[in-house]
A and B are shown apart, each in its own frame.
Chain A
């Protein structure tokens, strides 16, 4: 026993999140999350004005690649579909293609019942690059069309200019739609409402726009207050993501319970809330919340925003906005930025 170390207040401590098991914390029992074993199907909502209905809870593609195996991923997808989830998110660059492969495998035989989205990762490169990635995504997903194809990770200030440059990614979206390879098109980003608004200022006929929406976003670099109303005004389907902070930071940090956080995100005027789920425990928890979903009242939402205001203000639980931690390698390389590991926090 070392009495000095034991008492040493200056001792260096481990990274706060080290040792915290995400799935174990994210699937919290108690704390207000309903544990009812029997519940109805997940509610459906219209995707814009297309007449297509999608589930109010969507399954995130990145975390599918984080699940322990193909078998677990297949079980997650299968169980989610049985409970009424039909919206499936994915992306060309997630886990170097593994996420798309896993979803394609899991959807075998059930493709026609799913609304499949994936994203293209030109990060400023040309139309031909986009089309090559599309073909690759279709192959990995074992399908000949996408329900939705979105431009991934619009997070740098020159991205809108690059995307709308002649021969850029916007042209690829239009071409793919004309060719019937994709039914709808949109874009995503996690960084800055101003960049989203710049994308929308181009008046391109986006069918959807994806953005972080959670109870802390409302008072910090807010997509909810700046982008959501504009998308709603134009009838563009809003896809919410990062309801738990991206990797559960909001839940692990105790800022809100899973029930509060998911219910808040789903109560916004969004088409779907895409939730990253890498285990059956988290799936069951989130399905229970979504299946028993009753929208929060305006007063409840306001009270939660106010409660979270202080925790939101420095971005500590929305690291995708406040740090480079969530900025993908592919995008950083294309913009000739150093890897985020080479940068300070």
Chain B
């Protein structure tokens, strides 16, 4: 049994309704596990693969590239570029690096990662900004479609859309908590549907497991709600075989929620949605990408896992030529 396929915006391209998130792939136990996860995801009907230049400083792309070896033609491969306001040439450098790590000569989708600050749209469209790189990469055939992502604020998404740049897709957090707090579902999703831009949902379990752990919502409810929205794909992280198995099963047996069911769930969650406690990516600096904070000259949190990764990469091993594991 396969996973339902949906249209990627107004194009003829089809993508699986469930997508595999790249960040969590880098949290897999080891490389072998990650490769198997990717292979089993493809075999289970997932065609949409998410990634990003800065996830685990490259490990996520490297592992996904290995997992997709021999299966590249079966999937719709996306990664993101982390200029965070910086120039077009840097975007092209990152693109080339992503292609090499992913062991491919083209991407199906290339997105601007983590649009999170008020000046990001202006920096994107400035002369010599990343918008020029997106046009160039498309012309060169290195990417088929382009888009942007962000988890922070619907207003910034709308400002990106207002630049008039011809985005093929927009990625955003979509879950049952979002509806009542800085809502992408209410503010951004209708605009995308109107324009025929492919909406890509992420954080169906709201980015952090607290709500599930506290019994506020089940994983099944979470994923089913997110997939019932008018989106091309719902991207979710699956770093363990049992999580992949569970999600494949949910997606393969997916029946959309009725409007009434969706409204009932929103209403049930309304009392705990209004302060963003289960959507910390919208409110907490802890979810800002360090690469984005650096580019904007905001200070870094040295306790953040991504910052620790950056520093640990150069950790002294005491051996002159460290042999990779």
B-contacting residues of A (Cβ < 8 Å)?
Answer: 1-22, 25, 28, 30-31, 62-63, 66, 246-248, 252-257, 276, 278, 306-311, 316, 319, 322-329, 339-341, 343-345
Contacts and interface: CB of A to CB of B under 8 A. Distances in A.
B231 to A, nearest CB: 19
Contact of A20 (B31, B209, B311): B31
B268 interface: no
28 contacts: A1-B243, A5-B209, A6-B239, A6-B243, A7-B209, A13-B26, A15-B312, A16-B313, A18-B325, A19-B31, A20-B325, A21-B31, A22-B324, A25-B324, A246-B321, A247-B323, A253-B101, A254-B97, A255-B97, A307-B93, A309-B93, A310-B89, A311-B93, A316-B313, A319-B314, A325-B319, A327-B320, A341-B316
Contacts of B317: 325, 340-341
Given A4-B210, A13-B309, A341 B320 contact: no
Nearest to B24: A6
Given A7-B207, A316-B313, 18 more contacts: A1-B246, A3-B213, A4-B209, A7-B206, A15-B313, A16-B56, A16-B57, A18-B30, A19-B325, A20-B324, A25-B62, A306-B89, A310-B89, A310-B90, A310-B93, A341-B317, A345-B313, A345-B316
Contacts of A329: 318, 320
Contacts of B26: 13
Contacts of A345: 311-316
Interface of B: 24, 26-27, 30-32, 56-59, 61-62, 89-90, 92-93, 96-101, 103, 205-210, 212-213, 219, 237, 239-240, 242-243, 246, 286-287, 304-305, 308-309, 311-325
Nearest to B205: A7
Contact of A323 (B96, B237, B239, B316): B316
A1 B240 contact: yes
A6 B31 contact: no
A5 B208 CA distance: 9
Contacts of A324: 316
Most chain A CB within 10 A, of B26, B309, B320, is at B320
A186 B71 CA distance: 50
Contact of A247 (B92, B210, B237, B321): B321
Contact of A15 (B206, B207, B315): B315
